[in-house]
Chain A
Amino acid sequence: MRFLKKFYTLIIFFFLYAPIIVLMIFSFNNSKSRAKWGGFTLKWYAELFKDNEILSSLYYTIIIAVISSLVATVIGTIAAIGIHNMSKIKKTVVMNLTYLPVINPDIVTGISLMILFIFIKLNLGFITLLFAHITFNIPYVILSVMPKLKQLDKHVYEAALDLGATPLFAFRKVVLPEIMPGVVTGALLAFTLSLDDFVISFFTTGSGVSNLSITIYSMARRGINPKINALSTIMFITVLLLLIIVNKRTSRKENA
């Protein structure tokens, strides 16, 4: 039984990792073929950093992810507090509408936003891409913050006022720190969703502005390109390092 479990785990992990590892190995392959080994090289990496298309989409991906997650975190956190204090009926209506972009297929969200932008004669490009990302990020922030607000003793805010804090001070020094874990989770979630998004971005951008996903898509459609392998390797290593750092940090906090 133990052996069976180990064997099964091994197979599943092989299935999950084999494609990625092959991809990474071939990023160092001197031959353009994916099947034959032509010796070790770093030339694809060098070319990657000379490729303006990839560099510009990397730039847009990060800029969009940073701005959209920040804006979404601010709007979403404030909105969550407002919604939390709404009457039950209003709350139900607003929360159901908030869930819409989460459960709606990305493609529907994408085309609906595209229709809107074209309808109001907004040129598809950076601004529309940013608006789209903020739109699908806000619900995730709200959904991360709401549970923390529910846990929060509703009298905590009043207690701060009672001790002489103005509403703004009470929010900053008492409410915000208490819901901070939810806010951080929401912001991280928004940031990674934005980094990773393809479908919605695909429909809502234009005029030369594209993010990494879109660039990879168009490159992959044109066939295999070793530069993508190099890019994958860098991205996977980066993600892995970030994850390890985050995990170390949280586990240390739990032990403290």
Chain B
Amino acid sequence: MSENIIELINISKDYDGAEALKDVSLTIKKNEFVTLLGPSGCGKTTTLRIIAGFENPTEGTILFEGQNINSLPPYKRKVNTVFQRYALFTHMNVFENVAFGLRIKKFDNKTIKEKVSNVLHMVNLSGYEKRSVDSLSGGQQQRVAIARALVNEPQVLLLDEPLAALDLKLRKEMQIELKQMQKRLGITFVYVTHDQEEALTMSDTIVVMRDGSIQQIGTPVEIYNEPKNAFVADFIGESNIIDGTMLRDYLVRFAGHDFECVDKGFGENKEVDVVVRPEDIKITREEDGMLKGVIKSVTFKGVHYEMIAEANGVQWIIHSTAMSPVDSRVGLCIHPNDIQIMEKVVSE
């Protein structure tokens, strides 16, 4: 338990009657890279702001190293935030931006200079001290924002979609840099994003959220391979989600065919959601397939082709490096390991 740095216990948040968070509980360990992932309005940013202290939860408790910090104002918390649009102080130069927190803590000038120059070196901005922040590119501003937070040596760094405003190439580079920085410094990162790929690349733990509640907490591999429900499956990567019936343990029927699978414990003749990833569907000759169908469309995606096949009244998205032409008749095969069974979510 001593490993836990932040614990959210049954947190709820109301905005004038509108529920932004419903009974959220989450434990964040020291040195962990945790990502809050979900579509906009899912409550991920609200969660981050509650940890930072900008919002007070309507109900619930926040613990920091076991201490209740519910009523602690943001300027007394040992966390720092990197804001989505950086929120740099445009009337100060780069040095003064980074030195802001240190000056408040009344460090002497020599120490401030040393620390600022170290952290600027770390984010590859040595020599930019005197520049005005307006004259920097988006990526450079991003680094200043990170340096400004890191220089205070926070135990937890909160990042609110920090890469959203950058172009794709820069975003990829910064993802790697951030991850390396987190490992090197040994700081806990709580990272908010709506980009599932970013979450899969960087995180130790992903928290998938929707409509103010947590859908699933797990490692990237767990989240991808064993999504707990159709929402998670759909949100993380592309999926075929089909209605099915669990006939008994290890046997499921969907699309008019009985498939062997590796799941059990659902009971008999139980309605379930079945998830199959597009890359897990193998195209065979028609007579060798478990399902027989027709290719409806083919799109070239660079590394692979995306094909849509219709079989037994179901449209299947298939990813493959080998292309089958439109209107060709094919067989589809799915390995038992690649069939993911989920309980049906009773939608509100």
Q: Mark A178-204, 1 if CB is under 8 A from B, else 0.
A: 101000000000000000000000000
Any A CB within 8 A of the CB of B152? yes
- Minimum CB–CB distance from A157 to chain B (whole Å) comes to 8
- Minimum CB–CB distance from A164 to chain B (whole Å) comes to 4
* Minimum CB distance partner of A175 in chain B: B89
Q: Are A163 and B100 in contact (CB under 8 A)?
A: yes
Any B CB within 8 A of the CB of A70? no
Chain A residues with Cβ under 8 A from B75's Cβ? 161-167, 170
Q: Which segment, of B78-86, B115-123, B239-247, faces chain A? A: B78-86
Q: Are B152 and A164 in contact (CB under 8 A)?
A: yes
Q: Are B89 and A174 in contact (CB under 8 A)?
A: yes
Q: Are A163 and B54 in contact (CB under 8 A)?
A: no
Chain B residues with Cβ under 8 A from A178's Cβ? 89-91
Any A CB within 8 A of the CB of B237? no
Q: Could you tell me which residues of chain A, from 138 to 176, have a CB within 8 Å of some CB in chain B?
A: 153, 155-156, 158-167, 169-170, 173-174
Q: Are B104 and A177 in contact (CB under 8 A)?
A: no
Q: How far is the CA of A254 from the CA of B219 in the complex (A)?
A: 53
Interface size of A by CB at 8 A reads 20
* Minimum CB distance partner of B98 in chain A: A163
Chain A residues with Cβ under 8 A from B104's Cβ? 163-165, 169
Interface size of B by CB at 8 A reads 26
Chain A residues with Cβ under 8 A from B85's Cβ? 153, 155
Q: How far is the CA of A31 from the CA of B269 in the complex (A)?
A: 116
Q: How far is the CA of A162 from the CA of B79 in the complex (A)?
A: 7
Any A CB within 8 A of the CB of B130? no
Any A CB within 8 A of the CB of B101? yes
Any A CB within 8 A of the CB of B105? yes
Assuming the contacts A153-B85, A155-B85, A169-B104, asked whether A162 and B80 have C-beta atoms less than 8 A apart, the reply is: yes
Q: How far is the CA of A136 from the CA of B75 in the complex (A)?
A: 38
Chain A residues with Cβ under 8 A from B79's Cβ? 162
* Minimum CB distance partner of B16 in chain A: A87
Q: Are B54 and A158 in contact (CB under 8 A)?
A: yes
Q: Are A159 and B81 in contact (CB under 8 A)?
A: yes
Chain A residues with Cβ under 8 A from B90's Cβ? 178
Q: How far is the CA of A57 from the CA of B100 in the complex (A)?
A: 48
* Minimum CB distance partner of A174 in chain B: B89
A161 contact from B74, B89, B91, B105, Cβ within 8 A? B74
Q: Are B91 and A177 in contact (CB under 8 A)?
A: yes
* Minimum CB distance partner of B77 in chain A: A162
A156 contact from B73, B74, B84, B89, Cβ within 8 A? B89
Q: Are A155 and B84 in contact (CB under 8 A)?
A: yes
Q: Are B105 and A164 in contact (CB under 8 A)?
A: yes
Any A CB within 8 A of the CB of B6? no
Q: Could you tell me which residues of chain A, from 30 to 60, have a CB within 8 Å of some CB in chain B?
A: none
Q: How far is the CA of A158 from the CA of B75 in the complex (A)?
A: 9
- Minimum CB–CB distance from A77 to chain B (whole Å) comes to 16
Any A CB within 8 A of the CB of B322? no
Chain A residues with Cβ under 8 A from B81's Cβ? 158-159, 162
Q: How far is the CA of A24 from the CA of B43 in the complex (A)?
A: 70
* Minimum CB distance partner of A163 in chain B: B101
**Best-buried of A160, A162, A174 by chain B (most CB within 10 Å):** A162
Q: Are B87 and A155 in contact (CB under 8 A)?
A: yes
- Minimum CB–CB distance from B72 to chain A (whole Å) comes to 12
Assuming the contacts A174-B89, A178-B90, A178-B91, asked whether A162 and B84 have C-beta atoms less than 8 A apart, the reply is: no
Chain B residues with Cβ under 8 A from A165's Cβ? 75, 100, 104
- Minimum CB–CB distance from B344 to chain A (whole Å) comes to 40
Q: How far is the CA of A119 from the CA of B79 in the complex (A)?
A: 57
Assuming the contacts A174-B89, A178-B91, asked whether A163 and B83 have C-beta atoms less than 8 A apart, the reply is: no
Chain A residues with Cβ under 8 A from B53's Cβ? 161
* Minimum CB distance partner of A181 in chain B: B91
Q: How far is the CA of A34 from the CA of B86 in the complex (A)?
A: 66
Q: How far is the CA of A171 from the CA of B134 in the complex (A)?
A: 21
Q: Are A158 and B83 in contact (CB under 8 A)?
A: yes
Q: How far is the CA of A159 from the CA of B144 in the complex (A)?
A: 13
- Minimum CB–CB distance from A43 to chain B (whole Å) comes to 52
Chain A residues with Cβ under 8 A from B89's Cβ? 156, 159-160, 174, 177-178
Chain B residues with Cβ under 8 A from A180's Cβ? 91
Any A CB within 8 A of the CB of B52? yes
Chain B residues with Cβ under 8 A from A156's Cβ? 87-89
- Minimum CB–CB distance from A169 to chain B (whole Å) comes to 7
Q: How far is the CA of A165 from the CA of B83 in the complex (A)?
A: 16
Supply 13 further A-B pairs (C-beta < 8 A) apart from A163-B104, A178-B91.
Answer: A153-B85, A153-B87, A155-B87, A158-B54, A159-B81, A159-B83, A159-B87, A163-B100, A163-B101, A166-B75, A167-B75, A173-B100, A177-B91
Closest 5 A/B residue pairs (Cβ):
A163-B101, A155-B87, A159-B87, A161-B74, A177-B91
List, sorted by A's number, 14 A–B pairs whose CB atoms are closer than 8 Å: A153-B85, A153-B87, A155-B87, A158-B74, A159-B89, A161-B74, A161-B75, A162-B74, A162-B80, A163-B80, A163-B148, A164-B75, A167-B75, A178-B90
Interface residues of A (CB under 8 A from B): 153, 155-156, 158-167, 169-170, 173-174, 177-178, 180
